[in-house]
Chain A
Amino acid sequence: MHMSDGLLNAPVSVAFLVIAAVGVGFALVKARADLDDRTAPMAGLVATFIFAVQMINFPILPGASGHLLGGALAAILVGPYVGALCVTIVLVVQALLFADGGLTALGANVTNMALIGTATGFVVAVALRRLAERGKGGLAAVAFVSAFVNTVVAATGFVVEYAIGGAGGVEIGKVALLMWGLHALIGIGEGLITAATVTSVAAIRPDLVYLLRGSRKPLEVRS
């Protein structure tokens, strides 16, 4: 979901660079409280894993694919602030090293995938935390739902940005319909990957799953 330069006009691109900078700055300040000798290496690995999995485009329709965004995955494993930083690092490396995602578009891309995606995934996951604490099935369901919602809402970020200042003057309803339809399908893939990843981590190191921190009883998924 990395947009190229030129899809949004210059003022809107700059506005979202500012929004992204403020959001990432806020995350940098708040992330400190969630990082210690144990969680800092985990956060680095979560960023690395998201980069790797984003390379794997999976088919959704003939002629269309999708890839993980990673917001909910990061939020569930390392929390919303560290998670937003994880996705941001991935997007910056992709834009600078691999020419994937424009430079003036970086603000909008960070806003959609790192800020909106992670925040949405986290809010949904926290709302369903009781279910996640019930066991492996519950955790998988919560991961799936929060990842699905994170994908569709992040896609909505582009729709809103295009409505404010998109190039070409295409009818916004058409853009919205395509974005939502395609990302509902991509969201299923995002949900499956997120559920598989989160339950795998929880099976080996439940203490490293941010969402399960402070659970009254440790999750029994070891079997």
Chain B
Amino acid sequence: MKKFFLGFALVSLLIAGVLSYFASGDPDGLDKTVEDTGIAAHAQEHPFAGSTFADYALGGDSKFTGLAGALGVIVVLAVSFSLFWFLRKRPDAR
């Protein structure tokens, strides 16, 4: 049981930390749609566009995409595990 969960977490860490360097940089389906139709001209800059990890980089340097990805994995795991562990049914409740 422990092994499965550890493996699952490790796979996620490898995907975000290593495989992310091989991701396509082209716009995704929605971005492509708004670019081709001109809707993108109305897009506003993200309020956090200048933040440390904006666009999965470190201070705008995409050399650190893997690091940003690994951080994201840790943050999502911590937030989601905490929420779901808190929400779960406890057999010995009350």
Residues of chain A lying within 8 A (CB to CB) of residue B75:
93, 97
B81 close to A40 (CB less than 8 A) = yes
Q: What does DSSP make chain B's interface, helix, strand, loop or mixed?
A: helix
Contact code string A30-48 (vs B, CB < 8 Å = 1, else 0): 0111011111111111011
Total interface residues in chain A, CB < 8 Å = 71
A65 close to B76 (CB less than 8 A) = no
Residues of chain B lying within 8 A (CB to CB) of residue A64:
26-29, 32
Known A32-B87, A48-B77; judge A182-B32 contact (CB<8 A): yes
Residues of chain A lying within 8 A (CB to CB) of residue B48:
96, 99, 103
Question: Closest B-chain residue to A109, C-beta based?
Answer: B30
B87 close to A42 (CB less than 8 A) = no
A55 close to B15 (CB less than 8 A) = yes
> Quick one: which of B42-57 are within 8 Å of A by CB?
42-44, 46-49, 51, 53-56
Residues of chain A lying within 8 A (CB to CB) of residue B11:
49, 52
In angstroms, Cα B28 to Cα A38, docked, is 35
Q: List 13 A-B contacts (CB under 8 A).
A: A7-B42, A44-B85, A45-B8, A52-B20, A52-B72, A52-B73, A65-B26, A89-B79, A98-B68, A99-B51, A158-B30, A162-B39, A186-B29
Sort A-B residue pairs by CB-CB distance and give the 3 closest, nearest first: A44-B81, A167-B42, A182-B29
